[in-house]
Amino acid sequence: QQQVKQSPQSLIVQKGGIPIINCAYENTAFDYFPWYQQFPGKGPALLIAIRPDVSEKKEGRFTISFNKSAKQFSLHIMDSQPGDSATYFCAAGWNTPLVFGKGTRLSVIA
């Protein structure tokens, strides 16, 4: 119930491509869904977040799509750049500390 399942585990795209990372959850009490970006040797940093009252949120090149009925949400990175190469974590929360997915290692090749 407390798990967040993330896929794929790793992803390689060419510069300019649109990587998509997917997450699914079971606990319907979750009401906050952030994405975090982690570079090697650093802690995760908040990228973008969504609440379940909207189906999509965009910030710059990053978009979250949220499907409440399917209990799924995904991150899309438009016009991906080599500097976007990092590990991405989805997470979910409600009245407890965030539960994180297992991460997706993204490599954007020039």
Provide the binding-site residues for other proteins, judged by CB under 8 A.
32, 34, 36, 41-46, 49, 87, 89, 93-100, 102-103, 105
Angle in degrees, CA 56, 72, 50, rounded to 5: 35
Please give the Cα distance from 84 to 47 (Å, whole number): 11
The nearest distance, CB 32 to other proteins, in angstroms, is: 6
The nearest distance, CB 16 to other proteins, in angstroms, is: 26
| Residue among 26 and 79 whose Cβ is closer to other proteins | 26
The residue behind tokens 């407890």 is 96
